[in-house]
Structures are given as structure tokens and as C-alpha cells.
Structure 1
């Protein structure tokens, strides 16, 4: 009677001592049948000694017999362990001997026993284990796999740094009937039963990426860190915010170009939701760039390809997709009652409901936008009226216009007199020299 173990290091074929250890072999085969060992890790590997597995928690304290497993599935009560079958004839003489680990007695139990944990010897003549653990099988194929298992790197507790797992088990022959109440799962588990933080069994820790790929990954990580920093200081609504794909940025405009002019020119590509030429907040002069928001992304793409370098009001404009999130930030930071447009991150609007981030926003307030739906705010700081008033108090009072004109005329006449006297002064100096 044999089973095939497919591990991450290779295959192992184990012959079982069915006649000598019937209960142990039945327990082992039925645990294999219910996928109990699938994706279990070899959690204890000692070089030239043994490799231990069979504990779903990979801690050395878990595992149970098949009868305890069936009872737990049917909400019954059964002993966790069964009495080990230790035969004097079966000893740990050859490499590849398979034995059930005998657990010590637990509180409330008279003695310990065997559950699900087993180990495979990695060397010959380990007499220390004879009479202490129950031998029930031998590895007949896959000794090279045991050699690989013997050479893995482990920590001080014997746990391999890179997981070695039992991927799948195939039962080649099973002579025992199923215990009453045994339910076979419909499929093998897809995730390991333990929460391992080791190197994954299918991961190569020494693999190197091309230099370009490593640089790209480094840049992506740096960009993610910068975005998180901007989110923390309140300059972005959240770190994963992306610029809208239906908004165009138009620059190199003529100062005389108005919102209505751009809207009329770009409206042939689709429905325009908003069109705004950005202006200085104090003077109202055009800053010669604008944002145009289309209803659909396809319309914005068509306008981008068709309007690049087009002549508008004697200026060749430059069109690109907007990389600014100022419009989104206006909606979230300057009008917290609107929240996130329905079903957002925060419950009370703003940056997840945080008013402190709302106060630190550097964008233009919503009442200064051209429409009530929010616009594209200025990204530079504008002093408040309070600061401007304090500066006016510190500055001197302006001079009346009449006094400024009088001082200017006085200075002008003084310059003319000095200019008219200079030739006479030079003529008198020359006479004295002669």
C-alpha cells in the first residue's frame, strides 16, 4: 500500500506497513483522503536527522487523528490522539523511515498518543528514536528529494527560511473502509492553513530583474510614498487619487480669449460640462491657461488630437490632458457637506470627515469659482483680508495726489537750474586757469 507525496522539492513514494500497523496506516490514509496534509509545511528540519510535517498550524503543537477530525465535523467529542502502535521489528535503521510522532500527555489525559504529525528520517541508524515513535512506512522513491530537504537553510528553531510544502497527495491503494461520518471535501485547499511569513515555496529570493524593471519599480514606490505624504498634509484627498481623464488643460492662450470662446470652439467634439479660463483673483486678468471638462473621455481624446497647435485669437494653443486634481480637491476639501459624491470614504464629507485637513487646503474656496459646482482653483496662497489689513496698518498713509505733483515739479525745476548753471561754471574755471 503506497501514497505519492508531491512536494515543492520533488516527489516521494511511501510504502506503508499495513499489516504491522493497521490503525496507524488507516489514520494516515484517511487524513490524506480528506486533504488534511495538502499545503502543509515541513516546519522542523534537522540536518542529518529528520524532517517533520503534518501540523496544519506549523507550530508543532497542532494536529489530530482522523477519528477526532470526523467527530469535530459532526459536532461530536472524541479523543484527539490514539494509542501508538510501536513494533519492536520496525526501527529507524535506514534513511527515509516514516514514523508518527508520539505527543506527550496533555492536561486531563492519562497519556499522549499519535495524531497527524509524522516525520521522515534523513540519515541511517538513528537508534535514538527506536521505541519512542511509531514507524509505519518507508520512502521507496524520491531519495534525491530527501537530499534536497536535508540541505535547506533553517533558522534556530529548525524552520526553513523558504517554505517546503506538501502540494498534493495521491493515494495509490487504500484497503480500509471510511470511518462512519467521514466527509471528503469537494476540492483541495488553495491556501496554506498556517500564516507563514517565510519565503513562498514558489518564489526565488535570488532572482534579479533587469535594471530597467528595477528602476521602474523603484520609481513607482517613490511615487506612492510621495502621494501618501501629500495625503497626510492634506494636499491630496487620498493617496490613490488620479487626475480625471475627461479634462483637458489648454495653455498659451491669448489674454483676450474668454470662456465662451473656448467653449464654442471645443463644443464641436462633444458635450462640455465646464470651461474655465483661470484668472488672477485680484486683478481678474487671464493667466493664459484653462481647463475644459467633457462629458465623456472619448470626446476629450478627440479634442486632444484635433486641437493641438491650433490658432486661436492669433495664438497657437497647447492642449494636453490635465494632471491636476484641484477640481476634485475643491469638491472634497472646500465643501465638506457634499462629501464624496455619494458613497465615499468619509461620512461627513471632506477628507474622510477630517476638518483639520479641510482647513489646510491651499486651493481656492468654492465661493470664488465660476459656478456652484466647483471649479479649478488656484494652487498658490492668497493672503487673507486680515493679513492685508495688518500690512496696511504697518505701512505709511499714501501721499495726496496734489502734494505728489508739487514735489515732482519742484524736483524738475531744480534739475533744470543745475543744468543751466553748469556751462557758466565751466567758463569761469577756464578763465582762472589762464
Structure 2
């Protein structure tokens, strides 16, 4: 057993059936790879891998896009007419170690509740560190898109329609969707077909230089709380007073 695995076991951190460092997100519009920060954010990676190992992300759609800000998934499947929340394994402890710069993957959560992240995650399309590193206890960055992966992510994020990332949809059709004249169908949504573990060598972090979250060390200001229950899904993103607020709406099963 190598020293890293011994250290993980000594810390009492169990990663389930695999100690993955690199996963590939396989979508209907292309694939990209993410290097997970196993050592820096162990609880969050453990939580993410639980969903991966149990194939809970298979069939999940990207349900939210804010252009040049975030692309979000990990929460819902779509059966052709309705969205259904995937089962949650409970909240994960916040680990705001790294900065929300472009190309990183982070956990979505409820407003005013730093430890409320469950299954939903987002990819930072821009450098969002000024807001997300500090707000709501800091948003946990637990991996980084590698290789040419952001080229794929940028393609996935080209068309925003009512805060959905859609394909094969014109501006006119988008307006019809918003008015209800056109019904959303699965062919317009981007679906995650599978998330595959492709490298379980936890030493691959050495090839990366993740940026540290330094803002969280400063005094934390009270987060902005939204009373707006609008929006389509959990982990809503709103812009209030110049401060970004993520909120994951609780759903019942």
C-alpha cells in the first residue's frame, strides 16, 4: 500500500470502491475530463464519487446555464415531460480550499447554509473567485477540467435559453418555450450519459496547480438571502446587489 493511501486511511477517509483522481464526463454533446482534488477536498470528492460509483449521474441533464458564469448539473433527469430530482445521500461538509477560477468544478448549495451541498455541481465558465470564494462560506472547488475539456464545456454553454443550456433551438423557439407555445423536449437538453473513472492514481494532482482560496481567510460578511422562490430548479443562481447567490431548492420525493 502506497504512502498516500496509508495517509488517507489514517485520516479515516473512505472513498468507497475507488479512489479516483480523474473522471470523464460523457455527454450527448461531447466528453471532457476532470481531475479531482482528492487530498485537498476529501469529503467532497468522497461524496461525488458515491454518486459516480452508483451511476446516479447517468441520465442527468444540465439544468442551468448562466452565460460566461456557470454550467450546472448533477440534480435532475428528464423523462420527456417532467424533471425528477435524483436521490440525495445527504449533505457534505464545506471545504473551501481552492478558488472558483475558470475551469474548476464546485458544489452548489442552499443560500445561507455553507454545509448544504448534496449532488449538484457546476463548472465555472469564468473566474468567479471574487464572489464565490467568499460568499456563503465559500463554494467548494473539488476538481479541475483538464486537457481540451474546456473547449467541450464552452461548446455545451453556447446557447442559453431561459437559463437552460439547449441545443438545436433557435431564438424564436426559445421565445416559444418561454411563453409556453412550445414544449421542452429531451432532444434539446444536454444529457450526461455516464461519468467514468479513468484514472484512480491519486498522485495525478501533482500535474496541476490549483489556485488557493485566500478570500475565505478574510472576515466573512453576512450572505445575501433571497426570498424569491422563482426559478426552475435547485441551486438557483440570482444576482442581487452585485453579489451572486446560489440556492438549491429543496425537493420532495
Aligning the two structures, in what range does the TM-score lie when normalised by the shorter sequence? 0.5 to 0.7
Q: Per the alignment, do residues 14 and 26 of structure 1 end up closer, same or farther by CA in structure 2, a change over 3 Å counting?
A: same
Partners of 1:84 and 1:115 lie apart in 2 by 10
Partners of 2:114 and 2:150 lie apart in 1 by 35
Check the 8 A contact 1:82/1:115 in 2, yes or no: yes
More strand by share: 2
In the alignment of these two chains, the number of paired residues is 155
Q: Secondary structure at the match of 1:115?
A: coil
Within-5 A mapping of 1:16-415: 16-57=36-77, 62-63=85-86, 65=88, 68=89, 80-87=90-97, 90-93=98-101, 95-104=102-111, 112-131=115-134, 132-141=138-147, 142-155=149-162, 157-160=163-166, 162-174=188-200
Task: Map Cα deviations across residues 398-423 of structure 1 (whole Å, 9 max, x no partner).
Answer: xxxxxxxxxxxxxxxxxxxxxxxxxx
Greater than 3 Å deviation, 4+ residue runs: 57-65, 173-176
* C-alpha displacement of 1:102: 2.0
Give the TM-score taking structure 1 as reference length.
0.33
Unmatched runs of 5 consecutive residues or more in structure 1:
69-79, 177-434
Check the 8 A contact 2:28/2:193 in 1, yes or no: yes
* C-alpha displacement of 1:5: 0.8
Higher RCO structure, 1 or 2 (CA under 8 Å, sep 6+): 2
Q: Which has the larger radius of gyration?
A: 1
More helix by share: 1
Q: Secondary structure at the match of 1:103?
A: coil
Q: Secondary structure at the match of 1:32?
A: helix
Unmatched runs of 5 consecutive residues or more in structure 2:
1-20, 170-187, 203-253
